[in-house]
Chains A and B, each alone.
Chain A
Amino acid sequence: MAEAGSTRSGLGRVLVAVYAVFALSATARSGVQLATKAGEAPLAYTLSALAGVVYIAATLGLAEVGPAPRRLAWAAVGFELVGVLTVGTLTVLDPELFPDATVWSDYGQGYGYLPLVLPFLGLAWLVRTRPRPEHAT
């Protein structure tokens, strides 16, 4: 069982692991794309890089690294949800918008829709592990 208030314990371990995989893949992929063919789809690659940074922030927040990890996790996962919904909707409405795919294109279809499911899991986990008022830190 997860200890009260800890986002990195129990099921949180798996969540952190999945976020870490996305952080690594999104960052590395966009890094290679920006380094080798930035001109082809600058907006898409920059967006991928931004997604990578958001995933890194979410990973660190959920893993309880840094001075205010819970706040960091809320912000990152919240941004991630807005990002995947916005980019997903835009790319579904206008497939020509980005010349090359991003993690969030078509609601993360290229990644088995995991990018769409992940922020909901992250928010649910943050709510579930929320510190109770009497134990507030």
Chain B
Amino acid sequence: MIEPLQTILIVVSLLLAVAAGVYVALDRSPDNLLVGLAGLLELGFLAQAVIGIVQVAGDDDVASPVTYVGYLLAALVVLPVGVLWSLSERSRGATAVLIVAALTSAFLVVRMVQVHG
């Protein structure tokens, strides 16, 4: 089951990855715009975690609830850690960390949809 929120999360994650890619290409460090986008995305993941856990706690038929909740929680950690690790140095490589974090976030949503069954 794919919900509108999950579609939005995937699209915004990929958007963040592309935006970070542009920053890397231009050799610009992440600014408020890029970090703001990551923050907005994180709010979306927070909403997803709350909704998802409420659903699992109810009698929603999730194929493997433990794994599903694991993915919900893992997705909360990826962006903040990625942003911190990215901002702690000014270099192309550091900015590129945001690409990794964004792609991982998108991948986690895809896995969640698969696991939810």
Contacts and interface: CB of A to CB of B under 8 A. Distances in A.
Interface of A: 1-2, 9-14, 16-18, 20-21, 24-25, 28-29, 32, 35-36
Given A28-B74, A32-B67, A36-B66, A9 B100 contact: no
Contacts of B81: 20
Given A9-B93, A32-B67, A36-B66, A14 B74 contact: no
B94 interface: yes
B74 A13 contact: no
B91 A9 contact: yes
Interface stretch (B7-15, B33-41, B44-52, B82-90): B82-90
30 contacts: A1-B91, A9-B89, A9-B91, A10-B92, A11-B92, A11-B93, A12-B93, A13-B85, A13-B86, A13-B91, A13-B94, A13-B97, A14-B96, A14-B97, A14-B99, A14-B100, A17-B82, A17-B85, A17-B97, A17-B100, A17-B101, A20-B81, A20-B85, A21-B104, A24-B74, A24-B78, A25-B74, A32-B66, A32-B70, A36-B66
A14 B92 CA distance: 9
Task: Determine the interface band of chain B, counting residues with CB < 8 A from chain A.
Answer: 20 to 34
B54 to A, nearest CB: 21
B70 A10 contact: no
A12 B100 CA distance: 13
A10 B97 CA distance: 10
Given A11-B92, A20-B81, A21-B78, 12 more contacts: A10-B89, A10-B91, A11-B96, A13-B91, A13-B93, A14-B100, A16-B85, A17-B82, A17-B85, A21-B100, A25-B74, A32-B66
Contacts of A14: 93, 96-97, 99-100
Contacts of A2: 93
Contacts of B91: 1, 9-10, 13
